[in-house]
Every structure is written in C-alpha cells, then in structure tokens.
Structure 1
Amino acid sequence: MQALIGLLQNIGVFLAFLAARFAVLVVVLAALTVVFLVGLGVVRLAGRVRRHALGLTKVGGLVWRPGLYYSPGHAWLQWKGTSRLRVGLDDLAQHLLARVSEVTLPAIGQVLQAGDVVATVRAGRRQALIPAPVSGQVVAINRRLLRNPSLIHNDPYARGWLYAVAPSDAGHARLPYGEPARGWFSGEAHRFSRFM
C-alpha cells in the first residue's frame, strides 16, 4: 500500500511539474504574441503614415498618387529637382503584372524617344514592354529594383520607380496631372474592373 501511495505521489509531482512547464510555455507564448501584435501594429501604423505622407488614395479600387503625371501606358512621372523626371508604373500596371520576377532597365546615357520600348517587366512566362512616356536621356536607374523586382508591387509610387530621364522637350506637360489625372485614372480603373 505504501508503494502505491508513493507511486501516486510521484505521479502527482510529475503531473504538477508538467502543468507548471505548460503554464510557463503558455505565458511565454502569450508574451511573444503580444510583442508580435504590437510590432505588427507599429508596422501597419508606419505604412499608414507613409501612405498619408505620399497622399495615396483609392480611386476606383486602385491606389492613386497626386502630384504625378500619368501616361496612357500606365507610367507615372515625377519631377526630381528641376531637370529630371522619375518614371515608374502606376497601380493598375502593377496589378496586371502579377509576381514580377525580373526587370530590365535602360542604360544610363541612353537617349529615348517617346513611345520607344525602354524597359521590360517579366512576370512568369509573360513579358510586358514598357514604352517611354517622354523623350530624353536616361540619367539614373533604380538599381534596387533590379535586385528586388517585387518593389513594383510593394511600393509602386516610391521605391518601385524604374528610371529617371532628363526630358528633351515638354512632352510631359501634355500628360494628365492633378484632377484631370485623377479623372483619367478613375476611368482606367473602371475599365480594368469591367475587364477583370
């Protein structure tokens, strides 16, 4: 009988030990979950602040950024300084190019004519040819984009830019800008939603 009581006590001590270890595990997991959720909240808040700072808004279900020129080929242009335009793809273009795997950009110094193919974006077996929205000379390319093509999806209006060009004429002035650009983009978003 004494052996049975001793065995039951040992089993009880063992179960208490397991329960204590399980409780510690639960507390540690709860603490890690809280840290993760707080970190996630901070990241989301930072993203929201960044989107607000860039002025990003939804137009027809797509993200639109004010202060840019928009071309019919779904490129945007933004003045950087007084002599160069930065060029990237708008949100509609990045939606059409799911899972970008490779980007080819022009060479610095290359002279472009509006409408010339200036870049290619590969998404799986599909390839999109990107026309130059304006004429000019390429003065910079986004080397970070070459290493990380997903920037076209993750940040199309900032870190996902393609190249910068010193325009040879004022062709950009004919492109939609401001409220006309918003109206044009809204129409394109509507066409896209009907297509999809």
Structure 2
Amino acid sequence: MPEFPADVRCSEKHEWARDEGNGRIRVGITDFAQNELGDIYFVDLPEVGREVGVGDVLGDLEASKSHEEIYAPVSGKVVEVNEALIEEPEKVNSDPFGEGWIALLDASDAGDYEALMDAEAYRAFVQ
C-alpha cells in the first residue's frame, strides 16, 4: 500500500490537501497517483493569483505511463507554486507529500477541506 500521512486529506481524483493554518491549504498528488503515473518528467504549474474551484484543473503532469491533469481538491486562490518542480519534476515521485507539493491555496471555503477523505477513508478507497 502506498504511503499516506495522517495529516492530509484526499480527493477521489488522488490529490491531497494539508491544512497549513491561517486558511492556507497545500496541495499535491498522492503517492498512489504518482505510482500509477510512473516517472514524472514535466509539471505544468498553475499561475499565482488564479482562482480555482473544487475540481478545476490546476495544472498537468507528464509521465512515462500517462499525461494527467491535476485538479484542485479545495477552492481558493493560488498564492504560491512549487517552482522547484520546473527543474526537478521527479520530486513528485520521490516525495509526493513533501518536496513534491504542487501549490499553496488561500482557501475560500473551509468546508471543502473537511469534505475530503481522511487517511483511513482514502486507504479504503484505493484498496
């Protein structure tokens, strides 16, 4: 079973969200998702300042097995992106919940985060 930390919540599309406090939510793709994609060699990041709703496309990942869109697990405004992924997209594979994060959002609805699956529910979902 792929890794899934207890401090993140997850969407059915395999994006994770971590509450960073002050209404900020850090997002990325799960270990399960990166494993399914294979070696990631390109990440198209969202624009800082962009407003997104739940399920909106944040960006794209190109990998050895597939090309997939990244969806927003919560609604809000993109306030930061992980620019390190431009030069080192493989961080999404090696550390999806750490250095492989995609974007930081200023969440517009706290209920979006609460509606996501917790670690236990996500583990059951992917089995």
Same fold (TM > 0.5): yes
Match of 1:89 in 2: 29
The letter for the 1-side match of 2:39 is R
Cα displacement (A) at 1:186: 2.2
Cα displacement (A) at 1:68: 0.9
SS at match of 1:96: helix
Please give the alpha-carbon distance, in whole angstroms, between the structure 2 residues aligned to 1:113 and 1:81: 19
Query: Kindly tell me: are residues 153 and 125 of structure 1, through their superposed partners in 2, closer, same or farther at Cα, counting changes over 3 Å?
Result: closer
Matches within 5 A, 1:1-196: 61-124=1-64, 126-170=66-110, 171-177=112-118, 181-182=119-120, 184-190=121-127
Please give the alpha-carbon distance, in whole angstroms, between the structure 2 residues aligned to 1:187 and 1:120: 26
CA contact (8 A) 2:38 2:65 kept: no
Bigger strand fraction: 2
Query: Kindly tell me: are residues 62 and 126 of structure 1, through their superposed partners in 2, closer, same or farther at Cα, counting changes over 3 Å?
Result: closer
The letter for the 2-side match of 1:189 is V
Cα displacement (A) at 1:125: 7.2
Please give the alpha-carbon distance, in whole angstroms, between the structure 2 residues aligned to 1:92 and 1:168: 27
Cα displacement (A) at 1:142: 0.2
CA contact (8 A) 1:77 1:88 kept: yes
Cα displacement (A) at 1:71: 1.1
Cα displacement (A) at 1:189: 3.2
For these two proteins, the number of residue pairs brought into alignment is: 126
Gaps of 5+ in 2: none
- Give me the TM-score of the superposition, normalised by structure 1: 0.61
Please give the alpha-carbon distance, in whole angstroms, between the structure 2 residues aligned to 1:186 and 1:176: 9
The letter for the 2-side match of 1:70 is C
- Give me the TM-score of the superposition, normalised by structure 2: 0.92
CA-based RMSD of the aligned residues comes to 1.3
Point out 4+ residue stretches in structure 1 off by more than 6 angstroms: none
Larger radius of gyration: 1
Identity %: 32
CA contact (8 A) 1:62 1:189 kept: no
Please give the alpha-carbon distance, in whole angstroms, between the structure 2 residues aligned to 1:120 and 1:172: 22
Please give the alpha-carbon distance, in whole angstroms, between the structure 2 residues aligned to 1:160 and 1:125: 18
Bigger helix fraction: 1
Gaps of 5+ in 1: 1-60, 191-196
SS at match of 2:89: coil
Please give the alpha-carbon distance, in whole angstroms, between the structure 2 residues aligned to 1:173 and 1:83: 12
